[in-house]
Structure 1
Amino acid sequence: MHQFLNRLIGKPGPVIARFRGIGLLAGILASCVGVSSAYATGIDAGGIGHKSGQKQAFEMQKDIPSDARLMMVAAATQGNANAKPVRVPDARFFLQLQGDVTAPAGTRVIDADLFDVDSAQVAEWRDAGIYPICYMSAGSYEDWRPDAGQYPKSVLGNDYEGWPGEKWLDIRQIARLASIIKARLDLCREKGFMGVDPDNIDGYLTKTGFNLSRDDALRFVRWMASEAHKRGLTIGQKNAPDMVRDLAGVLDFAITESPVTFDHAHYFAPYVAQHKPVFAIEYLTDDGAIRDFCRQMVERGFQGINASQALDGSNYYCNE
């Protein structure tokens, strides 16, 4: 976690391990200077997660965890060029990235971890009319993930500050990352998710160990969007406000953290103008501040929630 955020809210708990983009906020806001207020974007989410079962052998081996077997099948699956993504509902959003995920009544869109949720759970959500989105870190390496051994050393950069076992990726090397990202998108689809929440696309705003640029990030995100859409998946923007003017017409929704606290909500206008949902998240504790946040989100046409910093599903909904 960036020291800037630590000074603001103190030492973060497991929560921000999942949604960490605020850690890059100083750089993000600085990058937005001169960007028209008609443009919009968010602040990001990440994931510390727990160690998953490692991929050991072939699908037929019964001692491999079911998700690892499924991942091996997904990795061998070609994208379906004829698949058509289903529009994300502009409706009540539920976020839970820690613990057993249980969506409350009224949930229409859910964001949950790609590896921590199994296909049976996703099927239950879809049967209940809920639109499931898979969370994955696209711009960082996490050593607890089952595919961690597939990352070549050449793409691994500086440690992600504050999170042991995580490193920034050289997203310029799409050719070296392609098989890993594609396998994750395949897994997302095979599990039944309908959309993708790609984290850490804004490494160019921090010290990654690579000379990343905004153009590098745009190239990487556009490539991911193409691959997601081939598989019939929608894909959202996670943060990087200065990229909204280029991505709002390409991506399908946006997720932003602390848009009122850090005064960047107005950058999301293009998504709303294109009838694409913006899911806004705050971590406020003062009742008055929560009411003000919700008032602004309703006025802007966002789906707003005030979440527990444990990201345990304890959400207050603005649009009830």
Structure 2
Amino acid sequence: MHVRGAAGVKRAGRPLTAAVLTLLVLLTGCTSAPEPSGKERWRPGPGIGWQWQLSGRLDPTVDVPVYDIDGFDHKASVVDDLHRRGRKVICYLSTGAWEDFRPDAGKFPASVRGRSNGWEGEYWLDIRRTDVLEPLMERRIEMCADKGFDAVEPDNMDGYRNRTGFPLTAADQLRYNRLIARIAHRHGLAVGLKNDLGQIPELEPDFDFAVNEQCAQYEECGELTPFVKAGKAVFHVEYELPVSRFCAESRRLGLSSLLKKYELGVEREECPKART
């Protein structure tokens, strides 16, 4: 569980001596999880190529430097194989919705499960309940780190803009999204902001890249500019527009754009390279 930092020292009766205060600070520091050493966090840059495959038999042969795959569905050996092929590997997880098909589904009490998010077996989580969700998400992200992933893609990070069954606010979302970013960084993993366009100005400094769905269809891609200006990748996918409708703008903005089907299988159409 994430250690939130030292609580204020309450003075009872008489002031604590400097020696006692120093001892308390040292002891408190011993309880916090150390940052991983010897490994610099991956920081993907704008325009990098990628493959996003969350269903079907994984095809490891797509000639791109980045793969985004399901964290539960794949073993460490799969991540190792992709690394041998020269790929960085992102661990897809749902951090804002409960999925009834995951092996840890029984650990989520009914009190934190809300309305369906529109996908079968998936329900929004009450992200205000960090007392329940933080240790669960810590274990999930630790799983990604143990399998050797380079980064995490936490999904369903914009519940406050949806009918979740809970009175979530923008402040609730900011607090929770930053919590997820801190947990990922504590385990030495890069972390991406999934969608949540309205909070990009506040959250860009906390995240290492962005993942976006359908910003071209909804004419929102310009809102991702803060990530590109900060030298961070924006992994972008469209489902319904042909590449001729969004690739020119994607190149102008520095996005890493693909056309995919909704099931996110192996099929992909990449934006053609700009003519020189």
- Shorter-chain TM-score tier: 0.7 to 0.9
Q: Alignment RMSD, CA only?
A: 1.6
- Per the alignment, residue 6 of structure 2 pairs with none
Does 1:299 find its partner at 2:256? no
Deviation at 1:89, TM superposition (A): 4.7
Does 1:145 find its partner at 2:102? yes
With the length of structure 1 as denominator, give the TM-score of the two structures. 0.71
Query: In 2 relative to 1, CA 115–80 (structure 1 residues): closer, same or farther, beyond 3 Å?
Result: farther
Alignment partner of 1:136 out of 79, 89, 93: 93
Answer whether contact 2:152 2:189 (CA < 8 A) is retained: yes
Instruction: Give 4+ residue runs of structure 1 displaced > 6 Å after superposition.
Output: none
Does 1:118 find its partner at 2:118? no
- Per the alignment, residue 59 of structure 1 pairs with none
User: Secondary structure of 1:134's match?
Assistant: strand
Answer whether contact 2:214 2:239 (CA < 8 A) is retained: yes
Deviation at 1:82, TM superposition (A): 2.9
Q: Which amino acid aligns with 1:282?
A: E
- Per the alignment, residue 81 of structure 1 pairs with 35
- Per the alignment, residue 217 of structure 1 pairs with 173
Answer whether contact 1:112 1:134 (CA < 8 A) is retained: yes
Measured in 1, the distance between the counterparts of 2:262 and 2:57 equals 16
Answer whether contact 1:304 1:319 (CA < 8 A) is retained: no
With the length of structure 2 as denominator, give the TM-score of the two structures. 0.82
Does 1:265 find its partner at 2:221? yes
Alignment partner of 1:314 out of 259, 264, 267: 267
Query: In 2 relative to 1, CA 122–142 (structure 1 residues): closer, same or farther, beyond 3 Å?
Result: same
Unmatched segments (≥5 aa) in structure 1: 1-77
Aligned length: 239
Does 1:282 find its partner at 2:270? no
Measured in 2, the distance between the counterparts of 1:110 and 1:165 equals 25
Query: In 2 relative to 1, CA 155–131 (structure 1 residues): closer, same or farther, beyond 3 Å?
Result: same
1:247-258 pair list within 5 angstroms? 247-258=203-214
Percent identity between matched residues is 34
User: Secondary structure of 1:249's match?
Assistant: helix
Larger RCO, structure (CA 8 Å, separation 6 or more) = 1
Answer whether contact 1:89 1:108 (CA < 8 A) is retained: no
Larger deviation: 101-110 or 175-184? Answer: 101-110
Answer whether contact 1:141 1:167 (CA < 8 A) is retained: yes
Larger of the two Rg values belongs to structure: 2
Does 1:195 find its partner at 2:151? yes
Measured in 2, the distance between the counterparts of 1:309 and 1:184 equals 24
CA deviations on 1:79-98 (whole Å, 9 max, x unpaired) are 65134412125411101110
Measured in 2, the distance between the counterparts of 1:291 and 1:309 equals 19
Query: In 2 relative to 1, CA 168–310 (structure 1 residues): closer, same or farther, beyond 3 Å?
Result: closer
Measured in 2, the distance between the counterparts of 1:114 and 1:164 equals 19
Deviation at 1:292, TM superposition (A): 2.9
